[in-house]
Amino acid sequence: MTAAVRWLGAFRPPPATFLECARAEIAGLGRQVSTEPLWRGRSLMCGAPATFIGVGLVLDPALSRFVRGWAQDAHTVLLPDGTLRPTKDRAVLGPEFSSWKALIEHLDAQDEPFYFGEAVFECPHYWAVAWRADMAAMFRDVASEIAAAVGLPAVSVEPQYCE
């Protein structure tokens, strides 16, 4: 199954703890969220602080409403009406995808993507709590604690190593 991850610290300032952030994300159904679509099941986020990408919620695209996506980070911002819009120049950003399937097919066709993509969803359905497998064991422990607290399984996400 293809998936997208809402890294709890990457897309907005988190509340005091990852658990508070996870609860806020799960309770915030009905609004748009920005996620990293996994490339061949792997995270492409490289160089970000561990506090940004150490722990996240795994979104099931089949049960969530896809809005739009890009093959690279769009630097989306939240508008007053609750929608997310890209701030990156379209000439730099490349094509916008209106279908999850088309975005994933485009990403997966790349042998060596140079950057992570971004996908916006409404009404996200989260099915697991994730930690990056290359991060410190502390993040695995935090993800396991969050999973137990919110009633979701804990899973690891492998990184695609970037140079």
How is 29-55 classified by DSSP, letter by letter?
Answer: TTSEEEEEE-BTTEE---S--HHHHSE
pTM higher than the cut 0.85:
yes
Query: pLDDT tens, 128-142?
Result: 999 888 877 888 898
Query: pLDDT tens, 105-125?
Result: 998 888 877 678 899 999 889
What pLDDT shows up at residue 49? 63
pLDDT at 1 > cutoff 60: no
Cα 107-111-100 angle, rounded to 5 deg: 10
**Bridge partners, residue 33, by sequence:** 121
> Tokens 């993800």 belong to which residue?
143
* H/E run at residue 18: helix 18-27
Where residue 91 falls among pLDDT bands split at 50, 70, 90? confident
